[in-house]
Amino acid sequence: MENNLLFINQNQDIIQEFLNAMKIKEGPLEIDTADSGLEAAFLLKKKRYKVVVTGLDLPTYDGTKIIEYLNQNYPQTICIVYTWRLELAHLKLLINERKVFRIFQRPTDYGQIYEAVMDGFVKYDKKEADAMDRRDLERELRKGALMLSELRHVAQERPWEREELEKFLHALLNVFVHDIKSEPPGKEKWQLIRYERKVLFWLLDQSEKPVNDLDEMKREIYKYFSHPENQQFVDITINKNPGVLSQDFCTNLYFIIWLLLTRFVMVSSIYNVKVVFIPVNEDRFRVRVEGVFPEGVWSAGHENLTARAITGVTQTILECFADRFTQSISDEKILCYLELESRKKAKQMAELVEQI
C-alpha cells in the first residue's frame, strides 16, 4: 500500500498551506483533502488511508467523530490532530480513549507535522505486519483444529493408543509454531505451545472425564486453581437452586471457567477470581467472571503478539461455547459475561473446530 494520507480542515487556506509545505519534502506522498466532516466520511468509505490529519472544528461531523469512526472501523489508520484550540477535556479524550498518535496546535512548523506523518507510516506498516502475523497464526491453529477432530475420533475409538497420541500431539504442536512466519521468540513460543496443549488435551479428555454436577465442577476448579497460600483466590457462587442440569451442560460450564482461569494463570501468578452462576429460568443461565490482578500486570502481559493471539483464541472459543459473550479489560481487571442454554446439545465442539 502506497504512503497516503487524508488532510481534513475547514479552512481552504490551511489546506493549501499544508499541500505547499508537503510538496517540498522528499519521498512520494499521496494526499487527499476534505474541508468538512461529511466529505471526509465519504472519502474514508471509498479508500483506506495510512494516516489521517484532521482538525477538530469541522462542519457536519467534528474531528472527534471522524477519529472515533476510524478507531472502530480502521484501527490500523494513524490519527494526527492539527487544531487551533485544544481544551483539557479534549486532550484527555484524544489521548486516553481515541489513541491519537500526535497532537499539534496551530501555528506549528510543518516540518514537525511531516516528521509525525512519516513516523505514522512506519507505525501503520508495523501494525499491518502484526495483523498479517496474526492471520498466519490463526491459519496454523485452524489446521491444528481440523487435525484435532480426526485425532479425537481415534482417541475415543482406540483408547489404548492414547499415550502415543499425546506424544504425537506434542510433536505436532511444535511444528505448528515453527511453521509460523513470524515465529515467537524463546519463552513466548513455549507459552503458546503450553496453552495449545492444555486446550487440546482437555478436549480429548472431555468424553472420558465428564463433570456430573455443579458441586463437582466447583471441587475441580478449586483443586486446580484456588491456592490462598499463594495469593491465588477463586470463589464460585451459585445464585438460587438451578435444578437438575445435564452432564454435558456441567462439563461445558466447567470448561468455560477452566479456560478463563488457565489464561489468567498464564498472565499472573497472583489473582483473585469471582465466578457467579445466575439461573435466569430453567433453560437459560448467566455466568459472570471477574479476575483482579496486581496493577499493570494484564497490560504488561499483552505487549507481545503471542500473548494477544492467545487471548484472541480464548475469546473465539468462549464465543463458540456461549450464546452471548462480552468482556471488558483494564490494566488490573478483566470482566466477562456469558449466557448459556442448558438444553443445547453438544454442538460446541464441532463449532469450535470450525472457528478456532
Q: Are 239 and 277 in contact (CB under 8 A)?
A: yes
**Which segment of 8-17, 40-49, 310-319 scores lowest on mean pLDDT?**
310-319
User: C-alpha cell of 323?
Assistant: 450464546
CA count, 13 A, side-chain hemisphere, 327: 18
How many other β-carbons are positioned within 10 Å of the β-carbon of residue 161?
A: 13
What mean pLDDT is reported for the chain?
76
Distance CA 330, CA 295 (A): 9
Coil, helix or strand at residue 295: coil
Per-residue pLDDT tens digits for 156-175: 555 544 554 454 444 444 44
As a whole number of angstroms, the longest Cα–Cα distance in the chain is 79
Q: Are 306 and 263 in contact (CB under 8 A)?
A: no
Q: Are 239 and 278 in contact (CB under 8 A)?
A: yes
pLDDT for residue 176 is more than 70: no
Q: Are 289 and 257 in contact (CB under 8 A)?
A: yes
pTM score of the predicted model: 0.47
pLDDT for residue 268 is more than 50: yes
Per-residue pLDDT tens digits for 186-211: 555 566 666 666 666 665 555 456 78
Q: Report how far apart, in Å, the C-alpha atoms of 335 and of each of 190, 254, 260, 330, 338 are.
A: 27, 18, 11, 9, 10
pLDDT value at position 133?
59
- The 3-class SS string of 175-243 reads HHHHHCCCCCCHHHHHHHHHHHHHHHHHHHHCCCCCCCCHHHHHHHHHHHHCEHHHCEEEEEEECCCCC
Question: For 64, phi and psi rounded to 5 degrees?
Answer: -65, -35
pLDDT value at position 9?
93
**Which segment of 29-38, 216-225, 275-284 scores lowest on mean pLDDT?**
275-284
Per-residue pLDDT tens digits for 72-81: 888 889 999 8
Q: How confident is the model at residue 139 (pLDDT cuts 50, 70, 90)?
A: low
